[in-house]
Amino acid sequence: MLNPNDIVLGSVVSFEMYPSMLIAGSYTRARVEGILNFKDANRYIDATAVHINVYPTLPVSTPNKADAYYYLKLKLLSGEETVIGIPWIKQETYQVVSSDSIRFTIPNVDVDDEEIIRTQLGALGYKMANVEYLT
């Protein structure tokens, strides 16, 4: 199981989950917003109910009590926030990724195409912060 002491608040991480058929199978470039105890996790999810559903898919050493481990609060690329149990993460897939901004120049684009481009990037989980029209 991933050690909470190895998790850096504010870091951008990617990883796969054990109960992929029950909840999200993986997270890509999610920002770690917090490490929560059981009580705080319940402000966002029903931790006991989710634990009961995912426990059969977890490694044998996982405690069989939802209040016996910590949870991660994540901010996804889409801007949504979610909370997951730390034991639900496949430790060997957990990686801290660098996070930078990139700028594209797309020639011969009609102004009306901006919304299409925004929608398509949003579908991939990216949020555009700035649009600059070049002449």
The reply to whether 114 falls in a domain is no
67: in domain: yes
Q: Give kind and range of the element (H or E) at residue 33.
A: strand 26-36
Closest-CA residue to 45 (of 14, 23, 12, 76): 23
pLDDT tens for 16-69 read 999 766 677 899 999 999 999 999 999 999 999 999 999 999 999 999 999 999
**Residue 21 confidence (pLDDT):** 65
Give pLDDT tens digits for 59-68. Answer: 999 999 999 9
CA distances from 116 to 26, 104, 121, 131 (A): 26, 15, 9, 13
Query: Using an 8 Å Cβ cutoff, are 86 and 72 in contact?
Result: yes
99: pLDDT confidence band, cut at 50, 70 and 90? low
For residue 61, what are the domain limits?
4-97
Find, among 88, 78, 3, the residue nearest to 41 by Cα: 88
Give the pLDDT of residue 103: 81
Question: How far is the C-alpha of 89 from the C-alpha of 103, rounded, in Å?
Answer: 32
pLDDT in tens, 74-93: 999 888 999 999 999 999 99
Residue 47 lies in a domain: yes
The answer to the question of residue 53 being in a domain is yes
Roughly how many angstroms between the first and final C-alpha of the chain, as a whole number? Answer: 54
pTM: 0.73
Does residue 109 lie in a domain region? Answer: no
Strands 95-97 and 71-75 come out as unpaired
**Into how many domains does the chain fold?**
1
Residue 93 lies in a domain: yes
Residue 66 lies in a domain: yes
Residue 63's pLDDT is 94
DSSP E strands in 17-133: the ranges are 26-36, 71-75, 81-85, 95-97
Q: How, if at all, do strands 81-85 and 95-97 pair?
A: unpaired
Per-position DSSP letters for 87-100, written without gaps between them: GGB-GGG-EEE---
Is residue 49 situated within a structural domain?
Answer: yes
